[in-house]
Amino acid sequence: MWRQLRGKILLSLILGVLVVAGLSLVADAQKLAGTLGGFAWRLTPLILGLTLFNYALRFLKWQYYLRLIGVRGLSTRDSFGIFFSSFTMVMTPGKVGELLKSYLLRRIAGTPVAASAPIIIAERLTDGLAMVALAALGLASFSFGWPVLALTLVAAVAGILLVQHRPTAERILRAGERIGPLSARVHHLREFYESAYELLRPRPLGLAVAIGFVSWAGECLAFYLVLVGLGLPGSWSLLIAATSILALATLIGSASMLPGGLGVADASIAGMLLAAVASPLMTRDVAVAGSLLIRFATLWFGVLLGAIVLLAFRRYFGALPELQGAGPPEPDARTGETYQPGVTGAGR
Question: Concatenated DSSP letters for 80-115?
Answer: HHHHHHGGGGGGSGGGGGGGHHHHHHHHHH---HHH
What per-residue string of b and e applies to 47-65 under the rule 16 or more CB within 10 Å gives b? Answer: bbebbebbbebbbebbbeb
Instruction: Report the alpha-carbon distance of residue 231 to residue 234 in Å, rounded.
Output: 9
The residue type of 266 is D
Question: Mean pLDDT for each 10-residue chunk of the chain (348 residues)?
Answer: 59 72 72 90 96 97 94 90 87 71 87 90 93 85 75 90 88 74 70 90 95 96 97 93 93 83 87 89 92 92 89 73 42 38 36
Residue 57 CA, chain-centre distance (Å), reads: 13
pTM of structure: 0.84
> Which is nearest to 217 in space by CA: 113, 336, 131?
131
Q: Residue 27: which residues within 8 A CB-CB, separation 6 or more? A: 284, 285, 287, 288, 289
Could you report how far apart the first and last alpha carbons of the chain are, in Å?
A: 34
pLDDT at residue 260, rounded to an integer: 78
Instruction: Report the alpha-carbon distance of residue 160 to residue 172 in Å, rounded.
Output: 15
Q: What residues form DSSP beta bridges with 77?
A: none
